[in-house]
Structure 1
Amino acid sequence: MAPTFSTPIKLMSFSILFFLIINIVNAQQSNLVYYLQDIGKGNNPTVATVIGINGRVWSYNTFGTIFVVDDPVLLEPSPLSTQVGKAQGVITVTSIDGANVNIVLSLVFNDVQYGRSTLQIQGSSHQRDNLRELSVIGGTGRFRFARGYVVFETVSYDPTNNHSVIKLAITLSIP
């Protein structure tokens, strides 16, 4: 009689399921709120155009334009608020009509509580909406194995200086 493999496979499947359930039950949910100061003009811009399609104006509404970001991450909307880190990454206008951008962003913390930890944010953002939801796809340090989402909300915008204050409402599950 040939040996049957159903029992070891069932045992392995049960073990994996049990491990996943324990991790889900033990996961901590955290809600964090921060504010970005996104400045496109002036003496100390935090967003800069890198490249775009030749012959076109490189802007937030022009397909193919790529920006780099190094925004301060603050506890409050005021630019004088306590800085806890930086939001560093790349924004690419990915739709022909300029409505969507693809964001790849690292929140790099430098405060006492989360110092040297990071959160990785990625996704497509409909930039003309006031509320934009993106994925938290991971992290390092205190945020290792983090998963969740972040809602970007424009709190204020000054077109003269191309200065936006953006609220980040982050919901995380950390095993």
Structure 2
Amino acid sequence: MATITPNKIISFTILLFITINIANGINGKVWSYNTFGTIFVVDDPVTISLSSYSTQIGRAQGIITVTSQDGANVNIVLSIVFNNAQYADSTLEIQGTSHQRDNLRELGVVSGTGRFRFARGFAVFETISYDPTYSQSVIRLTVTLAIP
């Protein structure tokens, strides 16, 4: 007979340093960041603090797609791929719709691998800073998980 054990609840905060690199499109074509159907692919560092000396503990790799006609919402499919000693070869899979103009956005943690196998929970994205000149954002990500 199967044994039911209570889930372990953990919470932690990490920082994502998102940079959007722009590829030139068709000459004369009007485009903006919030144009419906725009797709961004990210592979950016994850650290534990804002300090420039903070150790990188992983990468945020995924796809962000503008999914509403008015450009207000994006769909995010993001893997946090850890490479630090404590969580090496572990991932968290985050997915959901985000209202990109809000300072706080909540998305679901739908699974994980390694130390986060079978994880479920939520992640709160908070914009710490945004530099439109260089298309760079610093996002604080607070994750709360239930792990069997």
Structure 1 unaligned regions, length at least 5:
1-14
Within the candidate set 106, 109, 113, 2:86 is matched to: 113
Instruction: Report how far residue 99 of structure 1 moved.
Output: 0.3
Runs of 4+ deviating beyond 2 Å: 48-51
Aligned with 1:77: secondary structure? coil
The match for 2:15 is 35
The answer to whether structure 1 residue 72 and structure 2 residue 72 are counterparts is no
Identify the residue that residue 137 of structure 1 maps to in structure 2. Answer: 110
Q: Any gaps of 5 or more consecutive residues in structure 2?
A: none
Alignment: residue pair count? 147
**Cα RMSD (Å) of the superposition?**
2.2
User: After superposition, what is the alpha-carbon deviation per residue over 1:103-149, rounded to whole angstroms, capped at 9, x for unaligned?
Assistant: 00000000000000000000000000000000000000000000000
- Compute the TM-score of the two structures, normalised by the length of structure 1: 0.77
Contact 2:10 2:144 in 1 (8 A): yes
Q: What's the counterpart of residue 63 of structure 1?
A: 36
- In the superposition, the TM-score normalised over structure 2's length comes to 0.91
Q: Secondary structure at the match of 2:112?
A: strand
CA distance in 2 between partners of 1:141 and 1:64 (Å): 33
Measure how far apart 1:56 and its partner are.
4.4
Higher share in helix: 1
> Secondary structure in 2 aligned to 1:32?
strand
Q: Any conservation in 2 of the 1:77–1:167 contact (CA below 8 Å)?
A: no
Determine the C-alpha separation between the residues in 1 that align with 2:109 and 2:23. Answer: 24
Give the equivalent residue in structure 2 for 1:103. Answer: 76
Distance in 1, matches of 2:141 and 2:43, equals 15
- Which has the higher relative contact order, 1 or 2, with Cα contacts under 8 A spaced 6 or more apart? 2
